[in-house]
Every structure is written in structure tokens, then in C-alpha cells.
């Protein structure tokens, strides 16, 4: 999805925290069906983006094992450029993750989840 549906910039990683700015491609075909006349970033794409960004930060392929909380607080429109913030803690079950998207200080999305590292296939 990265570099197709969205691009990231202003990436900052310090320890177990990552922030970046997200810019969506409003011409991406996904917006023609979700939803016509009122394009909205699909929630599943937002969750997949968090997974992709975390995989890049960790250098590992991940599997979403469980979610404790997923909140879509506002519609995420393709013309906004929100800041994604992800923090994680390694546990015996994988990575306990807190993530969110904000636009101009307003919460758009929040998620608490557990991701598990998986072996990459050759």
C-alpha cells in the first residue's frame, strides 16, 4: 500500500516510538468505491498501514494477533495529511502496540494491539 495508497514523510524514530506524516493519493482507485461522492480512507487500510509502518521500524514481518481497542473517531479523508504515532513494547507474546492518527491535534484513529513476528517465506 505504501507508495500507492499513501506516502510517508517526516519519519522520526527514537527507541520504541515512531512518528511520520501520511499523505494519501486521492486518485487511488480504492476511493472510487469507498465511497462514491465522499471518499473515505477504509478502516482496514488504516490498520494495515500501522502494521506496515511497524514492520519497517522493526525490520520484521508481523501478524496482527489481537486488538484490545480500535477506535475510528473521525472520518479520515484522502485530502488530510495526518501524523501517525506508534509506540511498542516487546513482550513474551510479541509486540504490544499503541498507535494513532491525528490531524492538527485532533484524534482520528486509535488502536491498541498485539503483533507477533512471523518467519518470512523464501
Maximum separation of any 2 CA atoms in the chain, in Å: 46
Strand (E) or helix (H) holding 49: helix 43-58
State pLDDT tens for residues 47-70.
999 999 999 999 999 999 999 999
pTM of this structure: 0.94
State pLDDT tens for residues 74-107.
999 999 999 999 999 999 989 999 999 999 999 9
Question: Which backbone phi and psi does 4 adopt, to 5 degrees?
Answer: -120, -65
- Does residue 75 lie in a domain region? yes
- Does residue 1 lie in a domain region? no
Reported confidence tier of residue 122, pLDDT bands at 50, 70, 90? low
CATH value at residue 81: 3.10.129.10
Q: How many domains does the chain have?
A: 1
Q: Note down the domain range covering 17.
A: 6-118
Q: At residue 13, does pLDDT exceed 80?
A: yes
Chain length of the chain: 122
- Does residue 79 lie in a domain region? yes
Amino acid at each position: 500500500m505504501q507508495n500507492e495508497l499513501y506516502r510517508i514523510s517526516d519519519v522520526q524514530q527514537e527507541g520504541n516510538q515512531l512518528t511520520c506524516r501520511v499523505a494519501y493519493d486521492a486518485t487511488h482507485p480504492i476511493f472510487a468505491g469507498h465511497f462514491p461522492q465522499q471518499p473515505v480512507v477504509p478502516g482496514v487500510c488504516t490498520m494495515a498501514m500501522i502494521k506496515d509502518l511497524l514492520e519497517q521500524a522493526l525490520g520484521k514481518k508481523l501478524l496482527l494477533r489481537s486488538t484490545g481497542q480500535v477506535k475510528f473517531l473521525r472520518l479520515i479523508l484522502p485530502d488530510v495529511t495526518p501524523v501517525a504515532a506508534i509506540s511498542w513494547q516487546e513482550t513474551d507474546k510479541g509486540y504490544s502496540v499503541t498507535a494513532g492518527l491525528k490531524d492538527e491535534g485532533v484524534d482520528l484513529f486509535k488502536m491498541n494491539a498485539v503483533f507477533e513476528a512471523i518467519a518470512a517465506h523464501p
